Structure 1
């Protein structure tokens, strides 16, 4: 996958400039400029920040299918917190959510 092309496509979908991506991802303008001008593939932490700005996960970024679910910041935060839970905690939360239906 061409990571830079994928970032460009996401920017076009959102009608974002380099400046807007930098502001939304809380990255420096020079970091975003280097990605485009120097064809520099971003590091994983930089790519995570970019994905967060677009409201997608890294898995969605690298997904081959064109179907992506846009996550708002609260949803993204929940998924991020989920990663740090133990298996038992995940099971309990999942059961709680199922009971709320």
Structure 2
């Protein structure tokens, strides 16, 4: 199961619409809808908000109720590894840059 499938699965388990997920997570409905429309992955801060809305941890997000790991692509792993090497200030700058870039699409 990939990241977007996992979000959809958790949302449907709760019988939530995308709008309800946006209300509970503090993200806009257009942002959530765009992830699925364009097959774009959420940022880590956005994923943290999604997990908070579902009342689960990031670790729980990446392992479903059957213990099956959510699959990340090699590119996604590489991005996470590189992100973790940055200082907190650099991480925040990168997040801001990516949010600005994706919001302008």
Where does residue 4 of structure 1 map in the other structure?
4
Q: Measure the CA separation in 2 of the matches of 1:64 and 1:28.
A: 25
Matched, 1:23 2:28: no
Q: Measure the CA separation in 2 of the matches of 1:63 and 1:47.
A: 14
Length-normalised TM-score, structure 1: 0.62
Does 1 or 2 have the higher relative contact order (CA < 8 Å, sep 6+)? 2
Tell me: CA distance 1:64–1:20, structure 2 relative to 1, closer, same or farther (3 Å). closer
Matched, 1:47 2:47: yes
Where does residue 38 of structure 2 map in the other structure?
38
Choose 1 or 2 for highest CA Rg.
Answer: 1
How many residues matched? 67
Q: Structure 1 stretches (4+) deviating beyond 2 angstroms? A: 64-67
Structure 1: segments with no counterpart, 5+ residues: 68-101
Length-normalised TM-score, structure 2: 0.60
